[in-house]
Every structure is written in structure tokens, then in C-alpha cells.
Homo-oligomer: A and B are copies of this chain.
Amino acid sequence: MGLVVQKYGGSSVADAEGIKRVARRIVDAKKAGHEVVVVVSAMGDTTDELIELAEQVSPLPAGREFDMLLTAGERISMALLAMAIKSLGHEAQSFTGSQAGVITDSVHNKARIIDVTPGRIRTALDEGNIAIVAGFQGVSQSSKDITTLGRGGSDTTAVALAAALKAEVCEIYTDVDGVFTADPRVVKKARKIDWIAYEDMLELASSGSKVLLDRCVEYARRYNIPIHVRSSFSGLPGTIVSNDNPNKPEGGEMEQAIISGVAHDTSEAKVTVVGVPDKPGEAARIFRAIADAEVNIDMVVQNVSAASTGLTDISFTLPKTEGQKAIDALGRVKEGIGYESLRYDDAIGKISLVGAGMRSNPGVTATFFEALSAAGVNIELISTSEIRISVVTRADDVPEAVRAVHSAFGLDSESDEAVVYGGTGR
């Protein structure tokens, strides 16, 4: 039996009862013979409450102090969890990100891990303890200040510790049963995926699936750490994310397209730069302006230019929250670039089909568009990768479009309704 890293999200430790339930699960893993390292998030709404307090005392809280504040949340949950485990008769010690050796850069509020030196964790395990580690936090290498890792930070802490400690698996406990072929709130017949490759999970994550964030999957892929996404409420096996399907059937299948699932995202907006002179360097100037404003963009589409005018349109999508910044940045370079106008549209949605072998199976693309057409969904933008097709539609069309595609690819489950515990977000 090897070392297991388990991560529990805020909804799993929302109150004293939740903490005790999680403690029993951890002790079960220890009794089964594993060395156990647990990464825990702040309880329930603690982080939101701390953010609200910060807004009450300061309109623009300073990054260093904001991180100091937020890390109080995990400190509370990890200490309580260690106490609960000890009251079950097992030894446990809690560690802050800094004590656990999570070394980051100095970018407050969204620091990136640059090293993990888990000497104290290793010692605690060697002495027979269960080690409880605060998720979402670290300490900056240069200034020794406390940092937080930003969205999905606790999952990343778990995977990073699993890599540094050479764990056999990183279990991410959440309030759903695993990764589904589509959002069960939208597609009643969505099925739980038993296994998915890192690459497919990455595409699902970046296409709107919220169960795992791409950052954590990317880290796991780099260090080849299997992730097991599962429910902390049920005892069922969840979804394994790894390189190789442990239950791969003998032979066959290798050249077939394996559809993993359908993701959707209605958090983005679309910007179209209309009437851009179709000559080298124009796109570069547009996206340099966007990059200088520190706006992250997603899809980028340029149509062929109309021969009569020599002008083209460039569209891209980005988080709605970044829309204003992008419009302002492009407005400042209008004269330099010489485009005609900007169009901003935040009533859009994105539907993505993800699966291996898609490009070499032309039937996949055809089936995808046929399904959308039959559902009466109009397509505004198209973008593809090796293992993904994404389209942008009206936001209102998204639920119907997702159900149509899910059904067309035979992903619907036999049963009428997906078995999901609790909510589906985190």
C-alpha cells in the first residue's frame, strides 16, 4: 500500500458534521494501510466571508494582506480536521502551505508553485502521522511572504504534493460523483466517466467543465500523477484521470474516435474587430494590445477577407469579466491599426465536443454539425483542435445544443437520470 494524497473541498468540510465525516473517511484509508496526506480547503463560505470583510475595510485590498487574510480559512479547517482525526484515535498533524514546503513566486492572489520541499510532511508520515495540509497557499521564495494560489489552488496543492511525495494517486473529493459526459444539470442522461486521459480532461476543463481546473490537470500530466475525482458523500469510485486506461479492453478501439464528453460554457463574451486591413502584422498588433492589458483570451477566429474591400474581421472570446478591459485596450490602438469598429456580445455560449482520434474520423465533425442543425441551433464561430470541436452559439441555445450532441454521440445513459450527489459546482 503506497502513499495517497486526498483533497477535500469546502463543501465537504462545511460544518462540524462534515469535518467528522471526512475524518472517518481519512481514517479508513489509513486503516487500509496507506500513508495519508490530506489537503483541505476553507470551510464552506469562509473565504467569501473574509473577502466581504476585506471589502468593508478597503476598496482595493493590498495583495500581500489579502493573502494573509484568506489563508486564515484553511488554517481553521485543517486544525479542526486534525483534531477530529485525533479524537478517532489516530495521530494527525496539520501544516500550513509554508510548513508543508509549498514554495511559490511572489504574485499575490494567484501565485504559481515553483518548488515543493515536503520535508516536514515526510517526517510526520515516518512518525506514523496523518498529515493535514492547508490547500490554496504557499510562501514566496524571495520575500518569505504568505501567498495564495488563486482559483483551483487547493487541487493544485494536492497534485503538487502528490508529485513531490511520489504518491500512487491523488484523490480529489468533491460534491459530485466524478467527471460526467456533460453537465448533469443540463443533460439528465449524462453518464459518469470511469476513466479519461489527461489531454481530454484538459480540453474538457478549458471548455467549461468545472470539476477540475486545467491548471491542476496540467500539473498532474507533467508528473504523471493519476487523479481520482470522487464524491466525499458517497463511497462510490469516481473518475480516474491518467495516461493509461487501467481497464482498457484488449485490442480493437485504438483507431476509433473515443468521445469523452460534451462541455459548455456561458461565462464568455465575444469581441469582433470589424474591418481590419488584411495585411501582415495587423492581428499581432491587436493581440499585443490585448496581452498588454493582461486579458486572457480563449478562441480566436479570422475569416477570409472579402476580395472587394481587402478588409477582414477578427473575432475572439474572453471571460465576460475581462470584456471592458479588452474594449478599452482596443479603443486606445484604433488609429494605429485602422480598423472600422468593435462589436461586443455577451449573450453567447460555447459547446465543445472532446475526444481522442477526432480529427482522423471525419464522421465526428459531420455528426456534430448535423446534431446542431437538427436542433435548430445557429453556429456563429467554429474552432477545432486535435481532440476538440467548439462552436459559439446564442447563450439561449446552449442547453438544447448540449443535449442534442450528447445524444447524437451515444453518450446518453440507460437510466433516466444521472446519479449525482449534492450540487455540481464547487
- A residues lining the B interface (CB < 8 Å): 16, 19-20, 23, 50, 53-54, 56-62, 64-66, 68-69, 71-73, 75-76, 78-84, 86-87, 92-94, 99, 144
Q: Are B80 and A54 in contact (CB under 8 A)?
A: yes
Sorted nearest first, the 7 A-B pairs with minimum C-beta distance are A69-B79, A16-B56, A58-B87, A58-B83, A68-B79, A57-B84, A72-B72
Cβ–Cβ contact B87 & A66, under 8 A: no
A121 to B92, CA, bound (A): 33
CB nearest to A120 among chain B residues = B144
Whether A87 contacts B65 in the complex (CB less than 8 A), given A72-B75, A75-B75, A80-B54, comes out as no
Are B87 and A76 interface neighbours, CB within 8 A? no
Decide if B79 touches A65 in the complex (CB within 8 Å). Answer: yes
Given A53-B76, A66-B79, 11 additional A-B pairs, CB 8 A: A23-B57, A57-B81, A62-B86, A64-B93, A65-B82, A68-B75, A69-B75, A69-B76, A71-B75, A72-B72, A75-B75
B94 and A57 form a contact (CB under 8 A): no
Which one of A58, A59, A60, A82 has the greatest number of beta carbons of chain B within 10 Å? A58
A60 to B59 Cα, complex, angstroms: 41
Copies of the polypeptide in the assembly: 2
How far is A61 from B73 in the complex, measured between Cα atoms in Å?
19
Task: Assess whether A68 is in contact with B62, with CB atoms less than 8 Å apart.
Answer: no
Given contacts A66-B79, A66-B83, contact A57 B93 (CB under 8 A): no
CB of A101 to closest CB in B, whole Å: 12
Q: A16-B53, A53-B16 are in contact. Are A68 and B78 (CB under 8 A)?
A: yes
Return chain B residues, CB-CB under 8 Å to A144.
99
List, in ascending order, chain B residues with CB within 8 A of A20's CB.
57
Q: B94 contacts A65, CB within 8 Å?
A: yes
User: In whole Å, how far is A80's beta carbon from the nearest beta carbon of chain B?
Assistant: 5
Q: Which residues of B contact A68 (CB under 8 A)?
A: 75, 78-79, 82, 94
Q: Compute how far the CA of A122 lies from the CA of B313 in the bound complex, rounded to whole angstroms.
A: 58
Interchain nearest-CB distance for A135 vs B (Å): 15
Q: Is there an interface contact between A62 and B83, defined as CB atoms closer than 8 Å?
A: yes
Determine if A83 and B71 form an interchain contact, defined as CB atoms under 8 angstroms apart: no
Please report the C-alpha to C-alpha distance between residue A66 and residue B58 in the assembled complex, in whole angstroms: 30
- Sample (16) of A-B pairs whose CB atoms are under 8 Å apart: A19-B57, A23-B57, A50-B76, A57-B87, A58-B80, A60-B87, A64-B94, A65-B83, A68-B75, A68-B79, A68-B94, A69-B76, A69-B83, A71-B75, A72-B72, A72-B79
